[in-house]
């Protein structure tokens, strides 16, 4: 079969394109060459970090927290790979880290089922694995670090119960109710306000999006004359609700509570007086590096570390919030 000019062009383009795609996993620093880790003798370590996506600012913050915790450590290099929310890509990243022979793997998986096996393989190859934020199936990993959304929701509910003096009308703006964080922050909240005279008069799914939260809040405002507090499952949602209330001139008549407490978002809103309170949904980035260092030094670490949360209000925002029990 004669290979024409056009076929040659097409083939080279395809080859170039696949090379490009393979490299698209955004390696920000060069990985070490493969060699079996002999930790006790080494003084420089490479950690592979597999992030499921960088579309959410919260995850950008997670990587940022990891970077901030790793930078001051001499001899510690972190290689970041972004799977762009593609499970297969994340699997490939894990396998690449294993064959590159990293000293430790940190992973925030997109889904539990497809990534359990590759992580187990990493463990078999002698690479310790720290799992962040979303769980895997079984126990083939070294340590899981995550926050408890239900606990945070409950804390929010209790703070609200106390702030409103046990009674009042509340609008709940929910995150995507098909996701676990949404469900947990909802059930936790309801547990928190249980036994009080607080009534949730309007609830809607705003899918974590600010414009949608604003839209739902407008509906709530047009229906109800008396709203005491708005509880949104994330800070953008609370902000959207605030803007809706502000446009109606009613923002001073109610309180707004959100979750996430990113420094440039929720914490900023609290400082500016937009939100009454926000609860931190910690990324666990700093804790991941601390735990990693312990592992690399050969110390033992707990199987599960549940991250604590902080409550930020106007009074304590400057001092870094109040640690929740």
Partner 1 sequence: MSEPKTYSRLNAGRLWANPASRALFALLLVVLIGCIFNADGAFFKLGTHRDALRQSSVFGLLACGMTLVIIGGGIDLAVGSVLALVAVAFSLMSIHWGWSPWLCVPICLCLGAACGSASGCLASWWRIQPFIATLALMVFARGLAKTISGGMKVSTAVKNVDGTYRYVDVPALFRFIDSRILEGNLSVVTVIFVVCALATWIVLARHRWGRHLYAIGGNEEAARLSGVPVNFSKLSAYAASGLLAAVAGLCQAAQEQQGDPEAGGGYELTAIAMVVIGGTPLTGGRGGIGLTLLGVLTIGYLEKILSINAVPEASRLMLTGAIIVMAVLAQRKRRS
Site residues (CB under 8 A) for partner 1?
A: 54-55, 57, 60, 177, 202-205, 207, 210-211, 214-216, 218-219, 221-223, 236, 239-240, 243, 247-249, 263-265, 267-268, 271-272
In degrees rounded to 5, what are phi and psi of residue 254?
-145, 165
| DSSP code at position 234 | S
Q: How far is the CB of 22 from partner 1 (least distance, A)?
A: 18
DSSP 279-320: EE----HHHHHHHHHHHHHT----SEEEEP-EEEETTTTTTT
Q: How far is the CB of 306 from partner 1 (least distance, A)?
A: 27
Nearer of residues 144 and 208 to partner 1, judged by Cβ: 208
Q: How far is the CB of 33 from partner 1 (least distance, A)?
A: 30
Nearer of residues 99 and 180 to partner 1, judged by Cβ: 180
Q: How far is the CB of 298 from partner 1 (least distance, A)?
A: 33
Q: How far is the CB of 276 from partner 1 (least distance, A)?
A: 17
Residue pair 236/206 in contact by the 8 Å Cβ criterion:
no
Q: How far is the CB of 171 from partner 1 (least distance, A)?
A: 10
Nearer of residues 226 and 264 to partner 1, judged by Cβ: 264
DSSP 100-166: HT-SEEEEE-S-HHHHHHHHHHHHHTT--EEEESS--SSS-SSEEEEE-HHHHHHHHHHHHHHHTTT
Nearer of residues 51 and 291 to partner 1, judged by Cβ: 51
| DSSP code at position 175 | -
Q: How far is the CB of 155 from partner 1 (least distance, A)?
A: 24
Q: How far is the CB of 220 from partner 1 (least distance, A)?
A: 8
Q: How far is the CB of 302 from partner 1 (least distance, A)?
A: 30
Residue pair 54/60 in contact by the 8 Å Cβ criterion:
yes
Residue 117: CB partners within 8 Å, gap ≥ 6?
Answer: none
Nearer of residues 28 and 99 to partner 1, judged by Cβ: 28
Nearer of residues 151 and 207 to partner 1, judged by Cβ: 207
Residue 142: CB partners within 8 Å, gap ≥ 6?
Answer: 123, 128, 129, 130, 295, 301
Nearer of residues 103 and 235 to partner 1, judged by Cβ: 235
Residue 30: CB partners within 8 Å, gap ≥ 6?
Answer: none
Give the C-alpha separation, 190 to 137, whole Å. 28
Nearer of residues 8 and 247 to partner 1, judged by Cβ: 247
Q: Which residues does residue 280 pair with via DSSP β-bridges, in sequence order?
A: 260
C-alpha distance from residue 292 to each of 33, 78, 289 (Å) = 20, 11, 5
For the chain, what is the total number of helices (H) and then of strands (E)?
A: 10, 13
The pairing of beta strand 277-280 with beta strand 310-313: antiparallel
| DSSP code at position 172 | E
Nearer of residues 161 and 207 to partner 1, judged by Cβ: 207
């Amino acid at each position: 079969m004669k290979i024409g000019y056009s076929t040659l062009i097409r083939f080279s383009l395809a080859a170039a394109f696949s090379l490009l795609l393979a490299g698209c996993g955004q390696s920000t620093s060069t990985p070490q060459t493969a060699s079996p880790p002999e930790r006790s003798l080494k003084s420089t370590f490479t950690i592979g970090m597999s992030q499921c996506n960088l579309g959410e600012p919260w995850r950008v913050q997670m990587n940022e927290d990891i970077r901030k915790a790793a930078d001051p450590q001499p001899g510690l290099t972190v290689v970041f790979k972004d799977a762009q929310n593609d499970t297969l890509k994340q699997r490939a990243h894990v396998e690449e880290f294993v064959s590159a022979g990293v000293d430790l793997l940190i992973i925030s998986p997109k889904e539990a089922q497809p990534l359990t096996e590759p992580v187990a393989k990493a463990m078999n190859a002698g690479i310790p694995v720290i799992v962040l934020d979303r769980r895997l199936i079984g126990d083939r990993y070294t340590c899981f670090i995550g926050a408890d959304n239900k606990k945070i929701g409950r804390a929010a509910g209790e703070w609200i119960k106390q702030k409103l003096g046990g009674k009042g009308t509340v609008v709940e703006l929910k995150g995507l109710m098909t996701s676990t964080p949404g469900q947990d922050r909802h059930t936790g909240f309801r547990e928190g306000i249980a036994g009080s005279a607080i009534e949730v008069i309007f609830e809607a799914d705003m899918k974590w999006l600010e414009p949608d939260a604003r839209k739902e809040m407008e509906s709530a405002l047009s229906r109800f004359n008396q709203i005491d507090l708005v509880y949104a499952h994330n800070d953008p949602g609370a902000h959207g609700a605030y803007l809706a209330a502000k446009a109606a001139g009613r923002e001073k008549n109610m309180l707004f509570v959100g979750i996430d407490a990113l420094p440039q978002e929720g914490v900023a809103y609290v400082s500016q007086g937009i939100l009454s309170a926000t609860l931190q949904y910690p990324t666990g980035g700093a804790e991941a590096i601390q735990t990693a260092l312990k592992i690399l030094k050969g110390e033992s670490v707990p199987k599960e570390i549940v991250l604590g949360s902080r409550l930020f209000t106007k009074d304590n925002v400057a001092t870094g919030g109040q640690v929740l029990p």
